[in-house]
Structure 1
Amino acid sequence: MARSLRIERSGGVYHVINRGNYRQDLLINDGVHETFERCLFEACEKCGWVLEGFCVMTNHFHLVIRTPNGNLVYGMFRGLWPTRPAA
């Protein structure tokens, strides 16, 4: 069954969670953890998001994001996880 469309609203508040496959660790050391946080803060600035709160653990993270411009999906794919050039 297909998932219903996510409705994006200006000023919307979203709880975003991501977990590693089979609960495997995503953020395996302090360097990876710090890099993730830096990318998160850059994405918030780039997309105009307000990061209301976040909790980052080794195998998953929670974000509470307010989107004044209603651009959560754009920011997730272009801000937080930008596409990488082919190697």
Structure 2
Amino acid sequence: MSRKPRQWYPGARYHITARGNRGAAVFFNDDDYDMYLQLILRCQKEIPFTVHAFCLMTNHIHLLLEVYNHPPGEIMQFIQFRYAKYFNKQHKFNGHLFQGRYYSKLIETTSYFLAASKYIHLNPVNAGMVAVPEAYRWSSYPAYLGKEQHSFLTRKPLLDCFVDPKIQRYKNYIEEKGGKAYGDYCEEYRPEGA
């Protein structure tokens, strides 16, 4: 049975996740995380796309992307193939690093766009890895607060969903308790296995 083609068009936004094979770790150390981020930047130079948010967890990744003239599959193939090659060589492993195809959810509304960013940025908190999202180094959230910088990251579209002071209002939105979160908008919107 052939796979159903993924829907895409120029300007489409996606929440993309990819999980380690059998739930295994895909990052062992800081060098691994750094390499994945470097590959996002390298890919962006060859295949233009926008990164609105990201979070690299121990055994999976989250990306909030906007594509232009290339489908998300080309972007993910570029990054995942090169990262798996690096990882296997670095750690003397063989075989598949990632579990099957990446999962993607097309984002068609502003509320989903915001909710996806909230879900991504709260992932380390919900996993019990940190108490507050800005404490997690391998996420775009510290960059949204001006504490980090990633040349491949574009903050403006998410921040423009808020009135001034935009950064403070975005922070309030991410960290509010009891507010609508990603999964609250639509249960099937929750990424597979996340």
Q: Is the 8 A contact 1:11 1:70 kept in 2?
A: no
Q: Which runs of 5+ in 1 are unaligned?
A: none
1:67 is matched with which residue? 67
Q: Is the 8 A contact 1:12 1:70 kept in 2?
A: no
Q: Distance in 2 between matches of 1:21 and 1:74?
A: 20
Q: After superposition, give the CA deviation of every residue in 1:14-40 in whole Å (9 maximum; x if it has no partner).
A: 111011122110011111110011101
Q: Distance in 2 between matches of 1:4 and 1:28?
A: 33
Q: After superposition, give the CA deviation of every residue in 1:36-65 in whole Å (9 maximum; x if it has no partner).
A: 111012112321100010000111110011
Q: Distance in 2 between matches of 1:70 and 1:37?
A: 20
Change in CA separation of 1:71 and 1:5 when aligned onto 2, cut-off 3 Å: closer
Q: Distance in 2 between matches of 1:74 and 1:60?
A: 19
Identity of aligned residues (%): 26
AA in 2 matched with 1:26: V
1:13 is matched with which residue? 13
Q: Which runs of 5+ in 2 are unaligned?
A: 86-194
2:117 is matched with which residue? none
TM-score by length of 1: 0.81
AA in 2 matched with 1:6: R
Higher relative contact order (CA 8 A, sep 6+): 1
Q: Distance in 1 between matches of 2:14 and 2:72?
A: 8
Q: Distance in 2 between matches of 1:76 and 1:48?
A: 13
Q: Distance in 2 between matches of 1:36 and 1:20?
A: 14
RMSD: 1.7
More helix by share: 2
Instruction: Indicate the SS of the match to 1:39.
Output: helix
Higher gyration radius (CA): 2
Q: Is the 8 A contact 2:17 2:63 kept in 1?
A: yes
2:52 is matched with which residue? 52
Q: Is the 8 A contact 2:47 2:70 kept in 1?
A: no
Q: Is the 8 A contact 1:8 1:71 kept in 2?
A: yes
Q: Distance in 2 between matches of 1:70 and 1:31?
A: 29
Q: Distance in 1 between matches of 2:62 and 2:45?
A: 18
Structure 1 runs of 4+ with >4 Å offset: none
1:36 aligns with 2:36: yes
